[in-house]
Structure 1
Amino acid sequence: MDTDVLIVGAGPTGLTLANELRLAAVSTVLVDKLPQRSMLSKAGGVQSRTQEAFDQRGLLEPLLALGNHPVGTAHFAGIALPLTRDRHRHPWRSIPQVVIEGFLEQHLAAQGIQMRRDHELTGIAQDVDGITATFADSDVVRSRYLVAADGGHSTVRSLLRAEFPGRAGTLTTVAADVRLSGDDQAMTHARSEDGHWAMVFPLGTDPQGRPLRRLSLGGPGRSLPREAPVTEDEIREGLRAVFGSRVKLLEVRYARRITNAARQAARYRHGRVFLAGDAAHVHLPIGAQGMNTGIQDALNLGWKLGAAVHGWAPEHLLDTYHAERHPVAAAVLRNVQAQSLLMDQEGTRDPDLMAVKELFAALTRLRDVQYHLDDTLSGMGIRYPMPGAGEHPLVGLPSPDLDLGPVRSHELLRRGRGVLIDPADRFAEVAATWEDRVDRAGQGADAEPMLIRPDGYVCWAGDPDALEPALGHWFGEPR
């Protein structure tokens, strides 16, 4: 083998996965067909759960130190959810994808992990021991596993002939990174009487300290072929149709057309090949969910691949990647489709649709409705099935951040290992047989005992008799 894992695609998903495999002490080759990193930000919002996961790896603080990354208010279909702003330790932030990619690339380089650019995959062959990948420059890489993180038009997925069911795009909208002047400098969703609409939210500042904005535009007659270039005049006209003279265009950094296509791979695992990120699911970018879902795919898969490479993974462990992540992305596609409908992107002003939206907006004034939507959009409401762990309310959810005296529990996850919180010092004997994979901590702390997987999800709490089966289920046979 040339490497344990070959990652195809160096976007946020592939870069995050490479870091997870580094923590797991797994050799990794990361390739990308682009000769250099793209400077285009296809995404910009970072969910609470993604920030929490970065914090659990010690990455959030240095990432935030790179610049001004504004805190925003969550929204559903452009309807603000102000009651949710302070629910989580890490609020929704605007961090452009290009910033995240640059940060992760530099972090990996500092750890000795380089990527091979200008490397276009042309073929894959799978056998019982591994994968043979061939590239356009005649390079050949032999690996135990391969992960496709190569985007919505995934070459790996095409070579696998993997099913990618769903709906083709039926309309396009404009997405652009711009500088604006005027009084609309906060995140907003505005609509004119004739159905034209615009969404603006902050992207931080450029190197000169000038505010950047992500702008989306749509409405009657604005759905043009995806390949049609977006002009400055088109953006100015769209702004004028919604804001009049209140907002003016100063500069366009980049602009493109996006579609409302919604597709998801039928299977995320194909033998030794795994699909992740946009290679596994595509949808209209609403609510800052696409990039976050891909990053969390990587967090879920990384430690499991590490366990398989090191030989202690239970037989079912790699299959839990599809079992856990496929329903998450399916739910994202459903809520994006609902938001797209409520936003009336084509600007039809259909009276029936307007009545539904008016009723929905009224419901979102209720606290419980805002909290439910926030759980959906923040990633904090994701709950994985945890067989045999009982009915404890924490099981399956992201772990709480506990004060354990000298450290907080999120800091214990920076090694990429499991963590057993054992405040009463009751489980030393059983934990000792998994100590090469699970750290034990929290003795004497005022906390509830729980077992946390390397990706930050609680896989046991409460019933002492269920601890040993949970350790075996997620961490394999004892040493």
Structure 2
Amino acid sequence: MNGNDPARTVIVVGSGPTGLLLAGDLATAGVPVTVVEKRPSGISNLSRAFVLHARTLEQFDARGLADELEAVGRPLDRLRLYDRLTLDLGTLPSRFRHLLVVPQYEVEKVLLRRAREAGADVRYETEMTALSQDADGVTVDVTGPGGERGRLRAAYVVGADGMRSSVRTAVGLPFPGRSVIRSVVLADVRLAEQPGTLLTVNAVGDAFAFIAPFGDGYHRVVGWHRGRNAPDDAPLDLDEIKEITRLALGRDFGMHDARWMSRFHSDERQAPAYRVGRVFLAGDAAHVHTPAGGQGMNTGLQDAANLSWKLVQVLGGHAPGSLLDTYQAERHPVGRTVLRSSGGIVRLAMAHRPWTLALRAALTAVLDHVGPVRRRAIGQVTGIGVRYPAPSGAHRATGARVPDVALAGGRRLHQALRGGRFVLITPEPYDDGGARGERLAVERWAGDRRTSVLVRPDGYVAWASDSAGRAGIEAALAAHVG
């Protein structure tokens, strides 16, 4: 058994970005957390994600990590989806008016270091083999290095173990959906010619290709051809990848020295529930979709940001267990929307029939000329437009994302959120007497706003009022912060 009090412990299965963000949040808040990962220690360069969107960068900023990632990534203020359809990110209502091109392994490096420094126990070469739960907790059987068997006990388990999630299987959840694209080819190559854009992507006729830099002299190439439907284990050589790239992009940029090549298929699937008792699913264990729009890793990281503070509140005795039900209520609809939007993008990118080509042209025209539609599309892809349901009668701001607003004294909201705190922003000075310790930061607006706002640790409005006095604020704090 693990040495921590099982009644306060969380086990995270999977050490990808979703699992590591969650583990770091929990450990930072003082919750004992064990990460179980069947892979050997070491960051793999085989991951497929390359993009951090604005809302995810805001979450990293609220953890003091965004500047470090910005230093190793490369910003791009336009996202090209296909043909002439380009989304201009320069008008985003965010500190991050761009997407950041950064390989997933760089994100994992930052998150792993943070989790370990906060005290998370990360166990590599350790595979979950069985899971059972009862009214008081969850028991996880594991096999460690050398075949050593063990047993862990925790209050809650989070499966962040990918599309083939063992946790999801153990709790009996189906993963309905289907394969959308088969025989997608990937390769890490050197290029004799550098592309003219940071992210190079296009679809022509029956071919699609995407090129992104690793930053170490290699580029990731992703390609697909409608006429090829080979199984994932079919032989693959560089000539095939070059041919697909030439068809889609007009040239192969002199690619050579492939250090890795593979095939995969892209699925659209979503678990019907993200919670079964004391077990939760997050990231690819809960939903998978096409890579169009670069939303996969970002959606998983937002899952983790939503769930972590709720587990902290419940395990700390500051909120009832029913708070955990809101994870399903808030994140499952977001996952469903991402499935639809990314699927729509890839289907239109692969359009070849006259009516689908006409639809793509019409959509491009609408996005180019209708501002509200364009802003909604950008908000969807970047995560900036996500808001959560609010109770009946709540203030209109409840459930909305709060930008990185200026606070009195020259501070920013994202700075105040660090440490996983709630942040109360008021027009007049307010002192709660320190009753909530490090769980609450009390701030004032830098300007003349008169609304009092309680911001959740994930940056969304928990409560707001245009006229609350001290009694109203106290009631809100008692209800949400405890």
**Normalised TM-score (structure 2):** 0.89
Question: Match of 1:35, as an amino acid?
Answer: P
CA contact (8 A) 1:314 1:475 kept: no
Partner of 2:443: 441
CA contact (8 A) 2:87 2:378 kept: no
Q: 1:78/1:15 Cα in 2 relative to 1: closer, same or farther (>3 Å)? A: farther
3-state SS of 1:171 partner: strand
Q: 1:236-295 CA deviation, whole Å, 9 max, x = no partner?
A: 121222344462213334333332311111111111110011000011111111101111
Partner of 2:15: 10
Q: 1:314/1:463 Cα in 2 relative to 1: closer, same or farther (>3 Å)? A: farther
Q: 1:170/1:415 Cα in 2 relative to 1: closer, same or farther (>3 Å)? A: closer
Partner of 1:127: 134
How far residue 409 of structure 1 moved from its aligned partner, in angstroms, is 1.5
Answer yes or no: is 1:303 the counterpart of 2:321: no
How far residue 468 of structure 1 moved from its aligned partner, in angstroms, is 4.9
Answer yes or no: is 1:369 the counterpart of 2:399: no
Partner of 1:190: 202
Q: How many percent identity over aligned positions? A: 38
Partner of 2:458: 455
3-state SS of 1:74 partner: strand
Once residues 423 and 251 of structure 2 are traced to their aligned partners in structure 1, the CA distance between those partners, rounded to angstroms, is 56
Q: 1:85/1:328 Cα in 2 relative to 1: closer, same or farther (>3 Å)? A: same
Question: Match of 1:414, as an amino acid?
Answer: R
**Normalised TM-score (structure 1):** 0.90
Question: Match of 1:110, as an amino acid?
Answer: E
CA RMSD in angstroms, aligned pairs only: 2.3
Q: 1:78/1:47 Cα in 2 relative to 1: closer, same or farther (>3 Å)? A: farther
Q: 1:81/1:395 Cα in 2 relative to 1: closer, same or farther (>3 Å)? A: farther
Question: Match of 2:108, as an amino acid?
Answer: E
CA contact (8 A) 1:314 1:473 kept: no
CA contact (8 A) 2:214 2:220 kept: no
Count of aligned residue pairs for this structure pair: 463
Question: Match of 1:373, as an amino acid?
Answer: A
1:84 to 89, 96, 102: 89
CA contact (8 A) 2:423 2:454 kept: yes
Answer yes or no: is 1:395 the counterpart of 2:398: yes
How far residue 72 of structure 1 moved from its aligned partner, in angstroms, is 4.5
How far residue 71 of structure 1 moved from its aligned partner, in angstroms, is 2.3
Q: 1:169/1:83 Cα in 2 relative to 1: closer, same or farther (>3 Å)? A: closer
How far residue 74 of structure 1 moved from its aligned partner, in angstroms, is 2.2
Q: 1:17-49 CA deviation, whole Å, 9 max, x = no partner?
A: 011102221001111000123221220100100
How far residue 151 of structure 1 moved from its aligned partner, in angstroms, is 0.4
Question: Match of 1:407, as an amino acid?
Answer: R
How far residue 83 of structure 1 moved from its aligned partner, in angstroms, is 3.2
Partner of 1:242: 248
Structure 1 stretch displaced more, 1-10 or 107-116: 107-116
How far residue 451 of structure 1 moved from its aligned partner, in angstroms, is 0.8
3-state SS of 2:155 partner: strand
Question: Match of 1:454, as an amino acid?
Answer: P
How far residue 452 of structure 1 moved from its aligned partner, in angstroms, is 0.2
Once residues 225 and 179 of structure 2 are traced to their aligned partners in structure 1, the CA distance between those partners, rounded to angstroms, is 19
Once residues 434 and 79 of structure 2 are traced to their aligned partners in structure 1, the CA distance between those partners, rounded to angstroms, is 43
2:318 to 312, 319, 329: 312
How far residue 86 of structure 1 moved from its aligned partner, in angstroms, is 3.8
Q: 1:389/1:305 Cα in 2 relative to 1: closer, same or farther (>3 Å)? A: farther
Structure 1 stretch displaced more, 275-284 or 218-227: 218-227
Partner of 2:78: 73
Partner of 1:357: 360
How far residue 229 of structure 1 moved from its aligned partner, in angstroms, is 3.9
Answer yes or no: is 1:281 the counterpart of 2:287: yes
Once residues 359 and 445 of structure 1 are traced to their aligned partners in structure 2, the CA distance between those partners, rounded to angstroms, is 43
Q: 1:322-375 CA deviation, whole Å, 9 max, x = no partner?
A: 11000000000011111121011xxx7211111111111222212333211100
CA contact (8 A) 1:72 1:94 kept: no
CA contact (8 A) 1:397 1:458 kept: yes
Q: 1:167/1:68 Cα in 2 relative to 1: closer, same or farther (>3 Å)? A: closer
CA contact (8 A) 2:406 2:445 kept: no
Task: Give ranges in structure 1 of 5+ residues lacking alignment.
Answer: none
Partner of 1:117: 124
1:423 to 427, 430, 434: 427
2:163 to 152, 168, 187: 152
How far residue 440 of structure 1 moved from its aligned partner, in angstroms, is 1.1
Q: 1:372-414 CA deviation, whole Å, 9 max, x = no partner?
A: 110000000010113256242x331221212222311110000
Once residues 244 and 453 of structure 1 are traced to their aligned partners in structure 2, the CA distance between those partners, rounded to angstroms, is 48
Partner of 2:213: 203
Once residues 21 and 414 of structure 2 are traced to their aligned partners in structure 1, the CA distance between those partners, rounded to angstroms, is 18
How far residue 199 of structure 1 moved from its aligned partner, in angstroms, is 2.3
Partner of 2:349: 343
CA contact (8 A) 1:131 1:142 kept: yes
1:474 to 463, 471, 480: 480
Once residues 86 and 139 of structure 2 are traced to their aligned partners in structure 1, the CA distance between those partners, rounded to angstroms, is 49
Q: 1:310/1:473 Cα in 2 relative to 1: closer, same or farther (>3 Å)? A: same
Question: Match of 1:382, as an amino acid?
Answer: V
Q: 1:243/1:386 Cα in 2 relative to 1: closer, same or farther (>3 Å)? A: closer
Matches within 5 A, 1:197-276: 197-200=208-211, 202-206=212-216, 210=217, 212-245=218-251, 247-276=253-282
CA contact (8 A) 1:10 1:150 kept: yes
Matches within 5 A, 1:148-187: 148-169=159-180, 171-182=182-193, 184-186=195-197, 187=199
Q: 1:454/1:134 Cα in 2 relative to 1: closer, same or farther (>3 Å)? A: same
Q: 1:111-156 CA deviation, whole Å, 9 max, x = no partner?
A: 3434111001100111111111101231111111111000000011
CA contact (8 A) 1:261 1:283 kept: yes
Once residues 362 and 228 of structure 2 are traced to their aligned partners in structure 1, the CA distance between those partners, rounded to angstroms, is 27
Structure 1 stretch displaced more, 249-258 or 50-59: 249-258
3-state SS of 2:255 partner: strand
Q: 1:470/1:259 Cα in 2 relative to 1: closer, same or farther (>3 Å)? A: farther
Once residues 104 and 235 of structure 2 are traced to their aligned partners in structure 1, the CA distance between those partners, rounded to angstroms, is 22
3-state SS of 2:334 partner: helix
